[in-house]
Chains A and B, each alone.
Chain A
């Protein structure tokens, strides 16, 4: 069974430019997460979806970040415009339910220059 797939793996952009990340969760997983991981820290939740509904986006910087999960499957996370401080690894994860362990993708390493 395929795991969580993310693309791209790496992205380098100039500040003020837009960037988008894509995630395909494990088939049948209704819960999808986007995390951000800074160097030397653990993953921090940005947003959680239950099917196509964003049920927890309290940590998402809504002035520049947006996310969507069309048809309750694939998801995209967008940053516009990017800032230097957005450089981090962006991880997507999915689980069969909110109370179950999450399975992570390989992440997208974003570098903003």
Chain B
């Protein structure tokens, strides 16, 4: 049973427009969420995080939104750049329960020039 889902395997966006990557989870104990970016032949790179006590966290062009009632989070990239083309992984953990991070299957973002 997949606890963290990323239902869109791929997404294409025009350069300069907004990219929205979605993530859904099933475990209501999850209280901390991360987004990672992965380029080919490299390990995942930490991008941004959000705690369940917040509903938004922003870092430059990247904003993560958390909707706890819907068990849904999204990553917004504005404006999108060709260098943002990568696979994005959503990860979640139940820190207060000592659980390790669980990763989603990833969404491949292509930003077209």
Contacts and interface: CB of A to CB of B under 8 A. Distances in A.
Contacts of A104: 36, 43-45
For this complex, into which size category does the number of interface residues on chain B fall? 20 to 34
Contact of A48 (B9, B95, B100): B100
Interface stretch (B54-62, B67-75, B78-86, B102-110): B102-110
Contacts of A101: 34, 46, 49
B65 interface: no
Main secondary structure of the interface of A (DSSP, over half): loop
Interface residues of A, number: 21
A42 interface: yes
A41 B105 contact: yes
A4 to B, nearest CB: 7
Contacts of B106: 40-42
A44 B101 contact: no
